[in-house]
A = this chain, B = another copy of it.
Amino acid sequence: MPRLASKPQTITASPIRRIATLLDEARRKSDIISFGGGAPSLPPPQEVIDHLINYIKSYPQKAVGYGATRGMIELRELIAEDLKKYWNVSYDPKEEIMIVNGGTEGIYLALGAILEKDEEVIVLDPTYLGYHEPIKLFGGRVRTVPVSVENGYQPKIEDVKKVISPLTKAFILLSPDNPTGRVVTEEFVRDLVDLAVEHDFWIIFDAVYKHISYGRPTPWVDSFKGARERTITINSFSKEASIPGFRLGYITGPPEAIEVMEKLKQYVSLAPDTPGQIAMIKFLESGIKDRYLNEIVLPTYKRRRDFMYKCIQEYLPEAKTSLPEGAFYFFVNLEEYLKAMERDDEEFANRLLYRKSVVVIPGKYFGEMGKGHVRMTFVSEPEERIEEGLKRMNAYVYSYM
């Protein structure tokens, strides 16, 4: 075999994808309770499914035909209306919005469009697993800003200032956050935008969980003075419409940036999924989205969040965590238990799956600061299973105490 390229060999495969594979196998053997994955656990809105089925039935060829690289203009117009309605920011659907193949492609294109070799991108620690490797693929370097449970996982602007350098090219802000559930404060965003203007760097605002919040909504970076011309926003339909299998999202940004990302996209994936776009046009039309989120998704997830919080306090009283304001996850500091067990978070997670058939994600996968934590999804299991899972965790940790 001729040589493979060196850089792609140095990047690490996502450990969560690895766990997904393990899990598939484990599930066949026993009754697994999963606090692991980050997939929505509800079906998409029935009206959207019905519409899609009717459309495919009536226009099979059109339903699966080629589309434009930027996506359907009808969908982009509806997205512009939607962003105006929810965040009071106006985007030109032709020039400032592009449909992408999921938030993952959005991040990839954004980093590809801005990064030069050796430039630095600041991310929080812990953070989503999917940022470090594409930064490295484009030749960039990762700088991190620590956050911790004591402060509700909120970043401090002084810590950001400490890592800014002449090579700083971008800051990635995920809010609501994976793995911590944190929604950033208005104050932090204002200060961050000021820093970005002063030091002329980009903000990549990863808003894939934007509609999954249980109290105040996330501040919208673009609505802060000076932000618009230096912000690329990443959005996904996976979480808000529960359709991750269509790989569909969208990005916003300055027209020049969208143009460069469109050129990249032509050679990365050519165009987004057509039937998914047809489904999402229906989703954004005629109030389906509002009803789905407010009557089904958010009440269900909020109930499960509150219930898991109660269970954590009851069954893992020595754990420290922060009530997530958004997204799907508790990020739980288990140091008290891990000390007694003489295990790190990864060994803990492996043993817990083996001994008690409960899946949690080791915190160290999300960064240095994640060590001693586990991430626990509260959307994947109904209440009685959440309690059962926490009971199993209790039995496991107290066998060592």
Q: Verify if A108 is at the interface (C-beta below 8 Å from B).
A: yes
Residues in A147-200 with C-beta less than 8 Å from chain B: 169-170, 200
Q: Hey, what's the 0/1 contact readout for A274-315 against B, CB within 8 Å counting as 1?
A: 111000000000000000000000000000000000000000
Q: A37 — nearest CB in chain B belongs to which residue?
A: B66
**Contact between chains at B9 and A260 (CB < 8 Å):** yes
Q: Using Cβ atoms and an 8 Å threshold, which residues of chain B touch A14? A: 266
Bound Cα distance from A4 to B272, whole angstroms: 23
**Contact between chains at A65 and B245 (CB < 8 Å):** yes
Given A5-B113, A57-B53: A270 in contact with B102 (beta carbons within 8 A): yes
Q: Verify if A262 is at the interface (C-beta below 8 Å from B).
A: yes
Segment with Cβ contacts to B, from A130-138, A209-217, A317-325: A130-138
Q: Verify if A397 is at the interface (C-beta below 8 Å from B).
A: no
Segment with Cβ contacts to B, from A26-34, A41-49, A338-346, A357-365: A41-49
Q: Verify if A399 is at the interface (C-beta below 8 Å from B).
A: no
**Contact between chains at A245 and B17 (CB < 8 Å):** no
Q: A52 — nearest CB in chain B belongs to which residue?
A: B56
Q: Using Cβ atoms and an 8 Å threshold, which residues of chain B touch A244? A: 64-66, 274
**Contact between chains at B245 and A64 (CB < 8 Å):** yes
Residue A53 contacts which of B53, B112, B254, B267 (CB distance < 8 angstroms)?
Answer: B53
Residue A1 contacts which of B2, B37, B60, B230 (CB distance < 8 angstroms)?
Answer: B230
Bound Cα distance from A257 to B3, whole angstroms: 10
**Contact between chains at A101 and B104 (CB < 8 Å):** no
Residue A65 contacts which of B39, B66, B130 (CB distance < 8 angstroms)?
Answer: B39
Q: Verify if A348 is at the interface (C-beta below 8 Å from B).
A: no
Q: A134 — nearest CB in chain B belongs to which residue?
A: B267
Q: Hey, what's the 0/1 contact readout for A1-41 against B, CB within 8 Å counting as 1?
A: 11111101101111001001100100000000000010100
Q: Using Cβ atoms and an 8 Å threshold, which residues of chain B touch A12? A: 263
**Contact between chains at B256 and A273 (CB < 8 Å):** no
Number of interface residues of A (CB under 8 A): 84
Q: Verify if A349 is at the interface (C-beta below 8 Å from B).
A: no
**Contact between chains at A269 and B101 (CB < 8 Å):** yes
Q: Using Cβ atoms and an 8 Å threshold, which residues of chain B touch A133? A: 263, 266-267
Q: A65 — nearest CB in chain B belongs to which residue?
A: B245
Residues in A41-80 with C-beta less than 8 Å from chain B: 42-44, 46, 49, 52-53, 56-57, 60-61, 63-69
**Contact between chains at A64 and B246 (CB < 8 Å):** yes
**Contact between chains at B229 and A247 (CB < 8 Å):** no
**Contact between chains at B5 and A112 (CB < 8 Å):** yes
**Contact between chains at A104 and B268 (CB < 8 Å):** yes
Bound Cα distance from A96 to B340, whole angstroms: 45
Nearest first, the 8 closest Cβ-Cβ pairs linking A and B are A245-B274, A43-B61, A64-B245, A104-B270, A64-B243, A134-B267, A66-B244, A43-B60
Give chain A's interface residues, CB within 8 Å of chain B: 1-6, 8-9, 11-14, 17, 20-21, 24, 37, 39, 42-44, 46, 49, 52-53, 56-57, 60-61, 63-69, 101-102, 104-105, 107-108, 112-116, 130, 133-134, 137-138, 169-170, 200-202, 229-230, 238, 242-247, 254, 256-257, 260, 262-264, 266-276
Known: A17-B69, A21-B68. 7 other contacts (CB 8 A): A11-B263, A17-B266, A42-B61, A49-B57, A66-B238, A104-B269, A246-B273
The 10 listed contacts between A and B (C-beta, < 8 Å) are: A2-B170, A4-B114, A11-B263, A13-B262, A61-B242, A64-B243, A108-B269, A130-B266, A133-B263, A245-B273
